[in-house]
Structure 1
Amino acid sequence: MERRLYVLAASAFIVTAVLYSAWITGQFTTPAVDRAHGYVSELAARDQPWTRLFRTSDALAGLACLAGVALMPRAGREWPGWLALAAFGALTTAGGLFPLDCAALSSPACGRGPLTPAHHAHVVTGLLAAVAAPAAMALLAARWRTWPAWVLTGLTVASTLVTAAALAAGHLAGLAQRFQLLVVAAWLVYAALRLLVADVPVPAPALPHVVRQGRGPAVLIAGGPSAAWCHWDGVARELARTRTVIRFDRPGLGLSPASPVPPTLHGEAARLAALAPEHPERVTVVAHRAAAWHAEAFARLHPLRVSALVLVDPAAAPRGRRGTSSPGRALGRWLPALGGTWGAAALARLTGPALHRLLCGTADAHGLYSQGRVLAAAVGEWLARRDMAADLRLIRAEHAFPDVPVTVLVSGRARGARLVEELNGRLVRLPVTRLRVHLNVLPAIADAV
C-alpha cells in the first residue's frame, strides 16, 4: 500500500503543477493583463472575463498540493519542508478564494476606489505563498541532497528576488513572476518523479509491546478499543501483588508498530493464545468492551488454556448478519499505510489528545494519541467490528464454551444479562459511567479476578 501512496502523492503534485500553470492559457484569453508588467493573479481578478476559471484552477491547485503532502509517508526529518509546502498549498487555495478586485498592475484605474477585504487578503496570501514555495524547496533540497533540487531551488529564490526588485522598480515584474511560477511547477514535477522512482522500504516484522509484572497465576489484560497498556496501570499494580499480569498493545496502538493487515477476530484470539502461558498452565483473561469478543473467541478456540474470564463492560455485537461493507474493508486495508502519512500525523496531533481526555478523563501522559498510526489503528478496529461480530457468531455455533467461571461487570441496568445467560456467568452491576469503567472500578476488577 505504501507504494500506492507514493504514486497517489506523485499524481497529486503533477496535478498541482498542471493547474498551477493554467495562467499560460491566460496569455491568449485575457489580453487586458499586461504580459510583461502584470501579475499572473490579475487573470483571476473579478473584473476579468475568465476570472472563475483561473480562480478555480488556483483553488484546486492548492488543494491538490495539500492532498499530495497529506498522502506522503513520513520520512526522516523532512517535516519542516513538507509543512512549508502544505502552507504553500493552503495559501494558493486562499488566493483562489479571495481574488483581486481588479488588475492592479495592468489597469491604471485599479485602486482609485475603495478595495474590498478580499483584495487585500489576496495580496497577503500571494506574498506569503511566494515565500513558502522557495522555503519548502530549500528545506527539502537540504534533505534530498540532489543537484536538480538545488538548481531548481536556486532558480526559484533568484526569480523571487528579481520579481520583488522588478515590482519595486515598476518594470517587468510580470516576466519575472512568470519565470518563477514555471520553475515552481517544474520542481513539483521533479518531486513527483522522485517519488515514483523512490525505493519503498519494506518494514521488518516487529513484535507487539508487552509488559509483564508480578509473580503467580497468570492474568492477561486485553484493553478495549484504542486502549493502551498504560490505561490499566492501577489494575495491574493491584493484581501484581499475587499474580503475573500480562498487558499488551494491539498493532498500531500504544507502543506496538502497525500491522499491514486489518484486525480480525481469529487474529486477536491467536494473539491472546501467543501471550498466554503454555499449556497446562491456564490464564485468567480480563477484557474490556470489544476485547470481550477476543477473549470469548480465545476461550472457545483454546478451552484448555483458560481458567476464567472477567469481561468489563463488554460491547454488544452489532445487529444483523452482514459484515463490514466493501468500502469499509477497502478503507481498512489502506489504514495501516495511511497511518504513516503526514496527513494522519497532523490530524492525530490536532484531535488525539483532546479525544483521549474526553473519553478517558485524563491527559495523554505518554503522547501516544498524537501519532497517526494510533489514529489509523483505532479507526481500523472500529471498521472491523461487524466482521468480528460475524466471526464470533460462527465460532459460537461451532465451538462450545468451556466450563470456566465468567464474571461480567457492566455499568448499565439493562445490559449484560443476555451475555451472562449465554456464558453461564455472574453479573455485577456498577454505578459508574461506561466509557471510564476500567479506570473507576479497580477494586471490583481485582475482586472478580
Structure 2
Amino acid sequence: MERRLYVLAASAFIVAAVLGSAWITGQFTTPGVDKTHGYVTELAARDQPWARLFRVSDALSGLVCLLGVALVPRVEREWQGWLALSAYALLTIVAAVFPLDCASLSDPACGRQGLSPAHHVHLLAEALAVGAVVAAMVLLAARWRTRIAWLLTWATLAATALTAAALAAGRGAGLAHRAQLTLIAVWLVYVALRLLVADLWHSGHGRPHVVEEGDGPAVLITAGPAGAWFHWDAVAGELAGSRRVIRFDRPGLGLSPRSPAPPTLYAEVARLAALAPAHPEQVTVVAHGVACWHAEAFARLHPLRVAKLVLVEPVCPDGRRPQAVARAAGRWLPALGGTWAATALARLAGPAAHRRLAGLPDPLGVYRMGKVPAAVAGEWLARRDMAADLRRVREDKPFPEVPVTVLCAGERAGCAERLAGDLGGKLVRLPRAGRRIHLEDPGAVVDAV
C-alpha cells in the first residue's frame, strides 16, 4: 500500500501542474489580456469571458496539490518544505476564491472607479503564494541535494525577480510571469517523478517496543484501544517487586513502529506468544478492553502457557458481520500513518485527546506521532473481523482450566458478568472506579494478579 500511496501523491502533483497550466491554452481564448504585458491571473478577472473556468482550475490545482502533500510519506527534516508547499496550495485556493475585478495591467480603465477588497486580497494571496512555493523549492532542494532541484529552484528565483522588475517597469510582466508559472509546473512534475523513482522508502517497520522490569513469575500486560506502555506504570511499579512484568506497544501505538498489515486477532495472539516466556514457564496475562479478546484467544490456543487471566473492563463481541469497506480501508491505514496528513492530525488533536481520555501527560510525545491515529483507527475498523475470529476460536478450542478475574467499573456489568460466567471466572466490581481502572485504581489490578 505504501507504494500505491507514493503513486497517488505523485499523480496529485502532476494533476496540480496540469490544472495550474490551464492558462497556456486559455490565453488564446481571452484576447482582452495582453500576452506580453498582462498578468496571467487576469484571465480569471471578473470582467473576462472565461473567468469562472480559470478560477475553478486554479482552485482545483490548489486542492489537488494540498492532497498530494497530505499523502506524501513523512521524511525527517523535510517538514518545513512540505509546510511551505501546503501554504502555496492554500494561498492558490484563496486567490481563486477572491478574483481580480478586472485585468489591471492589460486594461488601462481598470480601477478608475475603485477596486473591491477581493481584488486586493487576490493580489496579496498571489504574492504570498509565490513566496511560499519558492521557499518550498529552496527548502526541499537543500534536503534533496540534486542538480535538477537546484536548477529549477534558481531558474524560478530568476523568473520571480524578472517578474517583479517587469511589474515595476510596467512592461514585459506577462512574459516573465508565464516563465515563472511554467517553471513552477515543471517543478511539481519533478517532485512527482522523484516520488516515483527515487529510493525514498522509509516504512518504519520493525520490532515492537517492549519494556521488562522486575524478577519472578511473568506478568504480560496488553493495553486497551489507543493504549501505551506508560499507562500501566503504576501497576507495573507495584508488581515489579515480586514479578517479572512485560509491557509492550502494539504496532503503530506507543513507541512501536507501524506494521505493513492491518491488525488481526491471530497476529495479536502470535505477538503474545512471542513475548510470553517459553513453556514450561507460564504467564499471567493482564488485558484491557478489546485486548481481552487477544488474551482469551491466547489462552484457548496456548493453554499450557497461561497461568491466569486478569481482564480489565472487557468488551463483549457482538454478532455484526465484518464489512468489506472497513477491511479495505484498514489495509490503507498502516501506510497512511506515515504521511504528513496523519502527522498534522496527530500534532493538532493528539495531545489534547490523550489528556482528555487518559488524564495523564504524554512524557515522550507519543500521541503527536502520525502513526498513532492511524493505528487506533485501524484497530477500530478491525474489531468486527477480530470478533468473528474470536467466535470461531471459541467454537473450536475449549477454555482451559486457568483462573480468571474480571474487573469492571460501576454497578452495571452486563458484559463483564457474562464473560466471567462463560469463562468460569471471578467478577470484581469496583463501584467507585471509572473506565480507566488501571489508572484510577491500580491496586485493584495488582490484587487481582
TM-score for both structures, normalised by structure 1: 0.96
Give distance in 2, aligned partners of 1:202 and 1:121.
Answer: 40
Q: CA deviation at 1:107?
A: 2.4
| Structure 1 counterpart of 2:119, one-letter code | H
- More deviation in 103-112 or 179-188? 103-112
Does the residue aligned with 2:333 lie in a helix, a strand or coil? helix
Give distance in 1, aligned partners of 2:165 and 2:208.
Answer: 58
Give distance in 1, aligned partners of 2:188 and 2:316.
Answer: 50
Residue deviations 1:143-180 (CA, integer Å, cap 9, x gap)? 22222211111110011111111111211212111110
Q: CA deviation at 1:364?
A: 1.6
Structure 2 equivalent of residue 314 of structure 1: 314
Structure 1 equivalent of residue 138 of structure 2: 138
1:347 to 334, 345, 348: 345
Give distance in 1, aligned partners of 2:202 and 2:103.
Answer: 52
Q: Is the 8 A contact 2:205 2:258 kept in 1?
A: no
Q: Is the 8 A contact 2:411 2:431 kept in 1?
A: no
Residue deviations 1:54-113 (CA, integer Å, cap 9, x gap)? 111111101111111111112242222111111111111111122122222222332233
Q: Is the 8 A contact 1:103 1:110 kept in 2?
A: yes
Does the residue aligned with 1:28 lie in a helix, a strand or coil? coil
Structure 2 equivalent of residue 80 of structure 1: 80
| Structure 2 counterpart of 1:8, one-letter code | L
Give distance in 2, aligned partners of 1:188 and 1:202.
Answer: 22
Give distance in 2, aligned partners of 1:149 and 1:76.
Answer: 19
Q: CA deviation at 1:433?
A: 6.1
Residue deviations 1:369-405 (CA, integer Å, cap 9, x gap)? 1111122111111111110000000011111111111
Structure 1 equivalent of residue 331 of structure 2: 333
Structure 1 equivalent of residue 179 of structure 2: 179
Structure 1 equivalent of residue 440 of structure 2: 440
Q: Is the 8 A contact 2:409 2:435 kept in 1?
A: no
Residue deviations 1:412-441 (CA, integer Å, cap 9, x gap)? 433211111111111122235654332101
Give distance in 1, aligned partners of 2:113 and 2:392.
Answer: 75
Does the residue aligned with 1:113 lie in a helix, a strand or coil? coil
| Structure 2 counterpart of 1:221, one-letter code | I
1:412 to 1:101, Cα distance in 2 relative to 1, 3 A: farther
Give distance in 2, aligned partners of 1:419 and 1:102.
Answer: 72
Which sections of structure 2, spanning at least 5 residues, go unmatched?
Answer: none
RMSD: 1.6
Residue deviations 1:294-325 (CA, integer Å, cap 9, x gap)? 000011111111111111111121332x12x2
| Structure 1 counterpart of 2:333, one-letter code | L
Q: Is the 8 A contact 2:212 2:245 kept in 1?
A: yes
Q: CA deviation at 1:114?
A: 4.2
Residue deviations 1:280-303 (CA, integer Å, cap 9, x gap)? 211111100000000000111111
Map 1:193-212 → 2, pairs under 5 A: 193-201=193-201, 206-212=206-212
Structure 2 equivalent of residue 302 of structure 1: 302
Q: Is the 8 A contact 1:95 1:126 kept in 2?
A: yes
Structure 2 equivalent of residue 248 of structure 1: 248
Map 1:91-240 → 2, pairs under 5 A: 91-201=91-201, 206-240=206-240
2:363 to 344, 349, 365: 365
Which sections of structure 1, spanning at least 5 residues, go unmatched?
Answer: none
| Structure 1 counterpart of 2:71, one-letter code | L
Q: Is the 8 A contact 1:21 1:181 kept in 2?
A: yes
Identity of aligned residues (%): 66
Q: CA deviation at 1:40?
A: 1.3
Give distance in 1, aligned partners of 2:193 and 2:142.
Answer: 18
- More deviation in 283-292 or 169-178? 169-178
Does the residue aligned with 1:69 lie in a helix, a strand or coil? helix
1:242 to 1:97, Cα distance in 2 relative to 1, 3 A: same
Give distance in 1, aligned partners of 2:104 and 2:318.
Answer: 61
Give distance in 2, aligned partners of 1:437 and 1:165.
Answer: 68
Q: Is the 8 A contact 2:215 2:243 kept in 1?
A: yes
| Structure 2 counterpart of 1:78, one-letter code | E
Q: CA deviation at 1:115?
A: 3.2
Residue deviations 1:102-134 (CA, integer Å, cap 9, x gap)? 222222332233433322221111010111111
Equivalenced residue count is 447
1:239 to 1:96, Cα distance in 2 relative to 1, 3 A: same
Q: Is the 8 A contact 2:204 2:258 kept in 1?
A: no
Q: CA deviation at 1:14?
A: 0.6
- More deviation in 384-393 or 101-110? 101-110
Does the residue aligned with 1:29 lie in a helix, a strand or coil? coil
Does the residue aligned with 1:310 lie in a helix, a strand or coil? strand
| Structure 2 counterpart of 1:375, one-letter code | P
Residue deviations 1:336-360 (CA, integer Å, cap 9, x gap)? 1111111211111111111111111
- More deviation in 160-169 or 116-125? 116-125
- More deviation in 25-34 or 197-206? 197-206
Q: CA deviation at 1:16?
A: 0.7
Give distance in 1, aligned partners of 2:215 and 2:376.
Answer: 32
Give distance in 2, aligned partners of 1:153 and 1:205.
Answer: 34
1:406 to 1:77, Cα distance in 2 relative to 1, 3 A: same
Q: Is the 8 A contact 2:336 2:342 kept in 1?
A: yes
Q: Is the 8 A contact 1:3 1:200 kept in 2?
A: no
Give distance in 2, aligned partners of 1:29 and 1:434.
Answer: 68
Does the residue aligned with 1:286 lie in a helix, a strand or coil? strand
Q: Is the 8 A contact 2:205 2:260 kept in 1?
A: no
Give distance in 2, aligned partners of 1:147 and 1:240.
Answer: 57
- More deviation in 369-378 or 287-296? 369-378
Q: Is the 8 A contact 1:69 1:85 kept in 2?
A: yes
State whether structure 2 residue 37 is matched by structure 1 residue 37: yes
| Structure 1 counterpart of 2:93, one-letter code | T
State whether structure 2 residue 397 is matched by structure 1 residue 399: yes
TM-score for both structures, normalised by structure 2: 0.96
Q: Is the 8 A contact 1:2 1:200 kept in 2?
A: no
Give distance in 2, aligned partners of 1:240 and 1:316.
Answer: 30
Structure 1 equivalent of residue 17 of structure 2: 17
